[in-house]
Structure 1
């Protein structure tokens, strides 16, 4: 059953009761990484194994996201400041126990490549927060695998 979450702003990534932050360096330049995040929603399922669909909505200011296992989100893009920051929040989901969610992708130059930092900021029931905290290492592995796959995808893309 889909339900509406508490609307949050970009500052939620710093103030959320639960914040999981992961980072990894890739060879691709920030502009290419940002474009893959913000402009190529259909490509997410090619590099982020948990994602089965990302489709723009509301003229590009929103997104519909579906994950393996059936979790769905309707999201609002909060910040699209290329090539540095891409932030969105979940407005509607079928994920149990979740009350608020925002995710931020922060990109900074690292030599000739990019340092990709992903912040997963959430609020939910005590059971949800405990489960997410226990699942932190799995989420970290998923992030590292996704960013590595994205880097390979960008390296093989035609110039």
Structure 2
């Protein structure tokens, strides 16, 4: 059963009770990575293996996301800064115990490529927070796999 989560802003990404931060370097440029994150929303399902659907909704300031296992999110974009940041919050989710979720993808030049830092920030019931923290290794693996797959995809596109 989907339920509305608490509206949070960018400050939540730094203050959330659960903050999982992952980082990896890519060969692709910050501009190409940012374009894949912010402009090619349907493409997420091609490089983030847990995702089965990603689409912009409304005027492009919101997204619908579906993950394996039937997880569904409706999200609002919080920040888009060219070649630097892409952040969003989850407004509606069918995840039991979730009260607030926001994510930020921060990009920085790294040699000839890009340093990518993804922060998953969340709040919820005690059980939700525990499960989120226990999921750190799995989320880290999913992030690393997604970044490698996106890097290969961008290289194949000549980006």
Instruction: Please classify the TM superposition score into its range, dividing by the shorter chain length.
Output: over 0.9
Residue number in structure 1 paired with 2:102: 102
Q: Distance in 1 between matches of 2:23 and 2:121?
A: 14
Residue number in structure 2 paired with 1:116: 116
Residue number in structure 1 paired with 2:81: 81
Q: Deviations over 1:60-96 (max 9, x none)?
A: 0000000000000000000011110000000000011
Q: Secondary structure at the match of 1:63?
A: strand
Q: Distance in 2 between matches of 1:3 and 1:43?
A: 26
Q: Give 5+ residue unaligned stretches, structure 2.
A: none
Q: Secondary structure at the match of 2:8?
A: coil
Q: How does 1:139-154 map to 2 (within 5 A)?
A: 139-154=139-154
Residue number in structure 2 paired with 1:37: 37
Q: Distance in 2 between matches of 1:158 and 1:37?
A: 16
Q: Secondary structure at the match of 1:9?
A: coil
Q: Distance in 1 between matches of 2:156 and 2:141?
A: 23
Q: Distance in 2 between matches of 1:92 and 1:9?
A: 15
Q: Distance in 2 between matches of 1:38 and 1:111?
A: 22
Residue number in structure 2 paired with 1:48: 48
Residue number in structure 2 paired with 1:62: 62
Q: Distance in 1 between matches of 2:17 and 2:88?
A: 17
Q: Distance in 1 between matches of 2:132 and 2:17?
A: 12
Q: Distance in 2 between matches of 1:5 and 1:26?
A: 33
Tell me the TM-score normalized by structure 2: 0.98
Residue number in structure 2 paired with 1:135: 135
Shift of 1:132: 1.1
Residue number in structure 2 paired with 1:23: 23
- Aligned pairs, number: 159
Moved over 2 A (4+): none
Tell me the TM-score normalized by structure 1: 0.98
Cα root mean square deviation, aligned? 0.7
Q: Distance in 2 between matches of 1:22 and 1:73?
A: 21
Shift of 1:116: 0.4
